[in-house]
Protein backbone atom coordinates (compact mmCIF):
# COMPACT_ATOMS: atom_id res chain seq x y z
CA UNK A 1 0.00 0.00 0.00
CA UNK A 2 1.12 3.55 -0.70
CA UNK A 3 1.75 5.56 2.47
CA UNK A 4 1.16 9.31 2.57
CA UNK A 5 3.08 11.49 5.02
CA UNK A 6 2.01 15.08 5.60
CA UNK A 7 3.97 17.82 7.32
CA UNK A 8 3.69 19.79 9.43
CA UNK A 9 0.93 18.22 11.50
CA UNK A 10 -0.16 21.70 12.57
CA UNK A 11 0.70 25.30 11.79
CA UNK A 12 -0.34 28.56 13.37
CA UNK A 13 0.03 31.61 11.17
CA UNK A 14 -1.19 35.17 10.87
CA UNK A 15 -3.56 36.58 8.30
CA UNK A 16 -1.56 37.41 5.20
CA UNK A 17 1.15 34.82 5.87
CA UNK A 18 2.25 32.28 3.30
CA UNK A 19 1.60 28.71 4.43
CA UNK A 20 2.98 25.60 2.75
CA UNK A 21 1.92 22.03 3.47
CA UNK A 22 3.93 19.09 2.21
CA UNK A 23 2.74 15.62 1.27
CA UNK A 24 5.17 12.80 0.57
CA UNK A 25 4.20 9.48 -1.00
CA UNK A 26 6.02 6.20 -0.45
CA UNK A 27 6.07 5.65 -4.22
CA UNK A 28 5.49 7.68 -7.38
CA UNK A 29 1.93 8.92 -7.99
CA UNK A 30 2.26 10.77 -11.27
CA UNK A 31 -0.63 13.26 -10.91
CA UNK A 32 -3.03 11.14 -8.89
CA UNK A 33 -3.15 13.49 -5.90
CA UNK A 34 -5.97 15.50 -4.39
CA UNK A 35 -6.16 18.03 -1.56
CA UNK A 36 -9.11 18.57 0.77
CA UNK A 37 -10.08 21.15 3.39
CA UNK A 38 -12.12 20.08 6.41
CA UNK A 39 -13.82 22.46 8.80
CA UNK A 40 -14.74 21.24 12.32
CA UNK A 41 -17.84 19.08 12.32
CA UNK A 42 -18.10 19.05 8.54
CA UNK A 43 -17.22 16.67 5.75
CA UNK A 44 -14.02 17.42 3.81
CA UNK A 45 -14.32 19.36 0.57
CA UNK A 46 -11.99 18.93 -2.38
CA UNK A 47 -9.78 21.87 -3.25
CA UNK A 48 -7.45 20.35 -5.85
CA UNK A 49 -7.51 17.16 -7.92
CA UNK A 50 -5.12 15.71 -10.48
CA UNK A 51 -2.37 17.37 -8.44
CA UNK A 52 -2.98 20.85 -9.88
CA UNK A 53 -6.60 21.22 -11.08
CA UNK A 54 -8.66 23.52 -8.87
CA UNK A 55 -12.22 22.67 -7.96
CA UNK A 56 -14.69 25.34 -9.03
CA UNK A 57 -14.83 28.22 -6.58
CA UNK A 58 -11.47 27.61 -4.92
CA UNK A 59 -9.66 30.93 -4.42
CA UNK A 60 -6.53 31.57 -6.45
CA UNK A 61 -4.45 31.94 -3.28
CA UNK A 62 -4.41 28.13 -3.14
CA UNK A 63 -1.72 26.64 -5.37
CA UNK A 64 0.07 23.35 -5.70
CA UNK A 65 3.45 22.04 -6.74
CA UNK A 66 5.49 18.90 -7.02
CA UNK A 67 5.13 15.56 -8.71
CA UNK A 68 5.79 11.82 -8.29
CA UNK A 69 6.49 11.53 -4.54
CA UNK A 70 6.65 15.10 -3.21
CA UNK A 71 3.76 17.53 -3.38
CA UNK A 72 2.94 20.88 -1.81
CA UNK A 73 -0.17 22.92 -1.14
CA UNK A 74 0.50 26.63 -0.63
CA UNK A 75 -1.81 29.31 0.66
CA UNK A 76 -0.19 32.48 -0.61
CA UNK A 77 -1.93 34.90 1.74
CA UNK A 78 -3.72 33.22 4.63
CA UNK A 79 -7.28 34.42 5.23
CA UNK A 80 -9.44 33.95 8.36
CA UNK A 81 -11.71 31.50 6.55
CA UNK A 82 -8.78 29.20 5.71
CA UNK A 83 -8.68 27.65 9.18
CA UNK A 84 -9.29 23.92 9.28
CA UNK A 85 -7.50 20.68 8.57
CA UNK A 86 -6.03 19.91 5.18
CA UNK A 87 -5.56 16.40 3.83
CA UNK A 88 -3.77 15.06 0.81
CA UNK A 89 -5.11 11.92 -0.84
CA UNK A 90 -3.60 9.60 -3.40
CA UNK A 91 -5.29 7.02 -5.58
CA UNK A 92 -4.48 4.43 -8.13
CA UNK A 93 -7.09 4.93 -10.81
CA UNK A 94 -7.27 1.17 -11.13
CA UNK A 95 -7.99 -0.43 -8.85
CA UNK A 96 -9.45 2.65 -7.13
CA UNK A 97 -7.57 2.30 -3.84
CA UNK A 98 -7.41 5.58 -1.94
CA UNK A 99 -5.28 6.66 1.00
CA UNK A 100 -5.05 9.91 2.92
CA UNK A 101 -2.26 11.80 4.58
CA UNK A 102 -2.47 12.34 8.32
CA UNK A 103 -3.69 15.92 8.00
CA UNK A 104 -2.36 19.41 8.72
CA UNK A 105 -4.31 21.61 11.09
CA UNK A 106 -4.11 25.28 10.13
CA UNK A 107 -4.87 27.79 12.85
CA UNK A 108 -5.07 31.55 12.61
CA UNK A 109 -2.99 33.45 15.17
CA UNK B 1 -26.63 18.68 -7.07
CA UNK B 2 -25.84 15.15 -5.95
CA UNK B 3 -26.76 14.48 -2.33
CA UNK B 4 -25.68 11.57 -0.16
CA UNK B 5 -27.18 10.70 3.22
CA UNK B 6 -25.90 8.07 5.62
CA UNK B 7 -28.23 6.12 7.89
CA UNK B 8 -27.70 3.47 10.53
CA UNK B 9 -27.37 2.92 14.26
CA UNK B 10 -25.41 5.43 16.28
CA UNK B 11 -24.46 2.88 18.91
CA UNK B 12 -23.43 -0.73 18.41
CA UNK B 13 -22.09 -3.34 20.79
CA UNK B 14 -18.65 -4.88 20.43
CA UNK B 15 -18.34 -7.98 18.24
CA UNK B 16 -21.55 -7.35 16.26
CA UNK B 17 -21.84 -6.37 12.60
CA UNK B 18 -22.21 -2.67 11.85
CA UNK B 19 -24.55 -1.89 8.95
CA UNK B 20 -24.77 1.51 7.27
CA UNK B 21 -26.71 2.65 4.23
CA UNK B 22 -26.14 5.61 1.94
CA UNK B 23 -29.08 7.03 0.01
CA UNK B 24 -28.15 8.99 -3.10
CA UNK B 25 -30.39 11.73 -4.50
CA UNK B 26 -30.35 13.54 -7.85
CA UNK B 27 -28.13 10.93 -9.52
CA UNK B 28 -28.54 7.27 -10.40
CA UNK B 29 -25.74 5.18 -8.93
CA UNK B 30 -25.96 2.82 -11.91
CA UNK B 31 -24.98 5.55 -14.38
CA UNK B 32 -21.30 6.04 -13.57
CA UNK B 33 -18.70 6.70 -10.86
CA UNK B 34 -17.52 4.74 -7.88
CA UNK B 35 -19.32 4.98 -4.55
CA UNK B 36 -17.42 4.62 -1.31
CA UNK B 37 -17.09 4.75 2.44
CA UNK B 38 -14.53 6.74 4.42
CA UNK B 39 -14.32 7.00 8.18
CA UNK B 40 -12.76 9.35 10.71
CA UNK B 41 -12.18 8.37 14.35
CA UNK B 42 -12.74 11.21 16.83
CA UNK B 43 -9.98 13.81 16.58
CA UNK B 44 -8.10 11.72 14.01
CA UNK B 45 -7.56 11.60 10.26
CA UNK B 46 -9.47 10.12 7.35
CA UNK B 47 -9.37 6.41 6.51
CA UNK B 48 -10.68 5.03 3.22
CA UNK B 49 -12.69 1.83 3.70
CA UNK B 50 -14.07 0.68 0.35
CA UNK B 51 -15.38 1.58 -3.10
CA UNK B 52 -17.98 -0.03 -5.30
CA UNK B 53 -18.21 0.61 -9.03
CA UNK B 54 -21.53 1.34 -10.64
CA UNK B 55 -21.17 -2.05 -12.35
CA UNK B 56 -20.92 -3.77 -8.95
CA UNK B 57 -17.18 -4.45 -8.62
CA UNK B 58 -15.90 -3.84 -5.10
CA UNK B 59 -12.52 -2.70 -3.76
CA UNK B 60 -11.54 -2.81 -0.10
CA UNK B 61 -8.86 -1.40 2.16
CA UNK B 62 -6.23 -4.07 2.79
CA UNK B 63 -6.44 -3.44 6.53
CA UNK B 64 -10.22 -3.95 6.67
CA UNK B 65 -10.99 -6.31 3.80
CA UNK B 66 -11.44 -9.37 6.02
CA UNK B 67 -14.32 -7.63 7.85
CA UNK B 68 -15.93 -5.41 5.22
CA UNK B 69 -18.60 -5.93 2.58
CA UNK B 70 -20.15 -3.32 0.28
CA UNK B 71 -23.28 -3.81 -1.77
CA UNK B 72 -25.76 -1.80 -3.83
CA UNK B 73 -29.55 -1.72 -4.00
CA UNK B 74 -30.26 -0.18 -7.38
CA UNK B 75 -34.03 -0.20 -6.81
CA UNK B 76 -33.57 2.23 -3.91
CA UNK B 77 -30.52 4.06 -5.32
CA UNK B 78 -28.60 3.07 -2.21
CA UNK B 79 -25.33 1.43 -1.32
CA UNK B 80 -24.40 -0.18 1.96
CA UNK B 81 -21.50 -1.10 4.21
CA UNK B 82 -21.24 -4.02 6.59
CA UNK B 83 -18.35 -4.20 9.05
CA UNK B 84 -18.08 -7.38 11.08
CA UNK B 85 -16.72 -7.97 14.57
CA UNK B 86 -16.55 -4.30 15.53
CA UNK B 87 -14.43 -3.07 18.43
CA UNK B 88 -13.97 0.31 20.09
CA UNK B 89 -11.34 1.07 17.44
CA UNK B 90 -14.16 1.19 14.87
CA UNK B 91 -15.76 4.16 16.63
CA UNK B 92 -15.77 6.91 14.03
CA UNK B 93 -17.74 9.25 11.85
CA UNK B 94 -18.58 7.27 8.73
CA UNK B 95 -18.94 9.19 5.47
CA UNK B 96 -20.39 7.89 2.25
CA UNK B 97 -19.02 9.44 -0.89
CA UNK B 98 -19.02 9.62 -4.66
CA UNK B 99 -15.57 8.92 -6.09
CA UNK B 100 -14.64 10.38 -9.47
CA UNK B 101 -11.97 8.26 -11.18
CA UNK B 102 -10.57 9.01 -14.62
CA UNK B 103 -7.32 8.36 -16.48
CA UNK B 104 -5.50 10.96 -14.42
CA UNK B 105 -7.17 11.13 -11.06
CA UNK B 106 -9.41 9.54 -8.48
CA UNK B 107 -10.92 11.75 -5.80
CA UNK B 108 -14.07 12.33 -3.75
CA UNK B 109 -16.26 14.97 -5.33
CA UNK B 110 -19.38 14.57 -3.16
CA UNK B 111 -19.61 13.59 0.51
CA UNK B 112 -22.44 12.74 2.84
CA UNK B 113 -22.69 14.73 6.07
CA UNK B 114 -21.31 11.79 8.06
CA UNK B 115 -22.79 9.66 10.82
CA UNK B 116 -21.14 8.98 14.16
CA UNK B 117 -21.01 5.32 15.12
CA UNK B 118 -19.93 4.50 18.65
CA UNK B 119 -18.94 0.96 19.59
CA UNK B 120 -19.62 0.37 23.25
CA UNK B 121 -21.29 -2.16 25.50
Each residue's pLDDT tens digit, B61-75: 999 999 999 999 999
Search chain A and give the residue with CA nearest B57: A95
pLDDT band at A93 (very low <50, low <70, confident <90, very high): low
Q: List Cα–Cα distances, A107 to A58, A67, B31, in angstroms.
A: 19, 27, 41
Q: Is the pLDDT of residue A95 over 90?
A: no
Contact call for B104 and A50, based on CB within 8 A: yes
C-alpha triplet A100, A106, B1: angle, nearest 5°:
60
CA distance A20 to B54: 37
pLDDT band at A29 (very low <50, low <70, confident <90, very high): confident
Chain B interface mutation, best of A43, A92, A102, highest count of B Cβ atoms under 10 Å: A43
> Nearest CA to B108 among B54, B4, B36?
B36
CA distance A36 to B112: 15
Contact call for A97 and B45, based on CB within 8 A: no
Chain A interface mutation, best of B49, B64, B102, B108, highest count of A Cβ atoms under 10 Å: B108
Region B70-82 average pLDDT: 95
pLDDT band at A52 (very low <50, low <70, confident <90, very high): confident
The predicted pLDDT at position A58 comes to 95
Say if residue B10 is exposed, middle or buried (CB neighbours under 10 Å; 0-12, 13-18, 19+): exposed
Search chain B and give the residue with CA nearest A52: B105
The predicted pLDDT at position A30 comes to 74
Q: Are A88 and A33 in contact (CB under 8 A)?
A: yes
Nearest-by-Cβ selection for A96 from B34, B46, B113? B34
Query: How many Cβ atoms sit within 10 Å of the Cβ of residue B48?
Result: 24
Region A34-57 average pLDDT: 94
User: Radius of gyration over alpha carbons of chain B, in Å?
Assistant: 14
pLDDT band at B15 (very low <50, low <70, confident <90, very high): very high
The predicted pLDDT at position A62 comes to 96
Q: Is the pLDDT of residue A79 over 90?
A: yes
Q: For chain B, what percent of residues have pLDDT higher than 90?
A: 90
Query: What average pLDDT is seen over chain A?
Result: 93
Amino acid sequence: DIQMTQSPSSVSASVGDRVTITCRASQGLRSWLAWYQQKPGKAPQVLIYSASSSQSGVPSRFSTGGSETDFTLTISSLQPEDFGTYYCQQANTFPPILSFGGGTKVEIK
Amino acid sequence: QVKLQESGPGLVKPSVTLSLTCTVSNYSITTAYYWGWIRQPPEKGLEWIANIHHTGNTYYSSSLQSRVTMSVDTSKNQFSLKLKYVTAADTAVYYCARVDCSDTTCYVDFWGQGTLVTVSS
